[in-house]
Amino acid sequence: MKKPFYKKFFYALVSLSVALTLSSCGKNKTSVTSDTDESEGVENLAQQVLSESSSHASATEGSTVGLNSFSSTHDTSQFSDMNQLTTACSYSSPYKTCSGATGTIDWNSCSVTYSGVSIATMTGGWNEDWTSASECQHSYLSDGGSVVRSATRSAITYTLGRKTITDTTGGTAYDGTVFTSGGIRTTRASGNRSVSMTTGSAIHRTGISRKGITYFDYYMVPSLTVSGSLKNSSSNLLTSNRTIGGSLTVYHNLLKYTATSQFNSVVWTDSSCCYPTSGNIAFTFTGANKPANSATMAFSSSCGTATLTTVTDSGSFTSSMTLESCE
């Protein structure tokens, strides 16, 4: 039986949330054998970028186009069985309504549950502008279609008081870069998809502790191309291996550095493996507190592994990675 799409969307958000927690709350000591502290910081960033791009790709491969990474869910590291997670906050009625080609998503304080217990509440929502009314109703991009999604505030508050907030309303990054209010655009042409921001805009995410302290704050600007899919089928009309190209830029407002990642033929060559197995992501860093000068994450044919080469003023360092974003 095919998994309902909103659950697929939810699982993508879960993996992204874990990556965000790693990148903002400290170093992951279990997933990499690292030569230097600099490499550990870069490894967390690399995991985050892979998770973000993979969730965009995964969300465009089903029979609908989901919200992918627009709203981060809870940290599920304490749960051993991800498949037990369920949510009442589905990407459908009653939370989504359409008026012509304009969609409105209102979470209306819906509850995210685990084994029947409420663990988080979602508030706020998203606005959508589709190419046609039919596409809005079915949340499906036909060839040549596009959708732009924007949010004033989409938040998830956990039972212990911590919250994650996502918006596209614009603002100023740590280095003075000004972003305008806008949205994230997904388009489809001949089965290929592109994910980018409307002119001058960015995705903004903040994490607030139960004591009101901001523990992560950053802007992201994707400019990604996606072709094929992880699981090829006649239903999604995608018959080649999933491949991601393009770039993703992250402005870390608290850490005060910018990371630009370039995707070089990142391919999921094995349909039984939910990680890339060829290609690489090249990173460049700017800012007073940059963790390195550059880095490259090269994917291995051995499912779930990669090699990270980090270049700092002290030299070049290589570490092995266990990938964490399974999309």
Q: Could you give the CA distance from residue 282 to residue 296 in angstroms, rounded to a whole number?
A: 4
Domain limits at 305?
A: 5-92+173-201+218-322
For residues 95 and 101, give the distance between their C-alpha atoms in angstroms, rounded to a whole number.
16
pTM above 0.85, yes or no: no
Residue 260 lies in a domain: yes
Domain assignment of residue 111, yes or no: no
Tell me, yes or no, whether 135 lies in a domain: no
User: How many domains are contained in the chain?
Assistant: 1
Residue 136 lies in a domain: no
In a domain, 45, yes or no: yes
Cis peptide before 222 (omega within 30 of 0): no
Q: What is the pLDDT along the chain (327 residues), one digit of tens a residue?
A: 333 333 333 333 333 333 333 333 333 332 223 333 344 589 988 988 988 888 777 776 655 555 543 333 333 332 223 233 344 576 666 788 999 999 999 988 888 877 778 888 889 999 999 999 998 988 888 888 899 999 999 998 988 889 999 999 999 999 999 999 999 999 988 878 899 999 999 999 999 999 999 989 999 999 999 887 776 554 555 667 888 999 999 999 999 999 999 999 999 888 788 899 999 999 999 998 999 999 999 999 999 999 999 999 999 999 999 998 776
Residue 252 lies in a domain: yes
| Backbone conformation region of residue 304, classed left if phi is above 0, alpha if psi is from -120 to 50, else beta | left
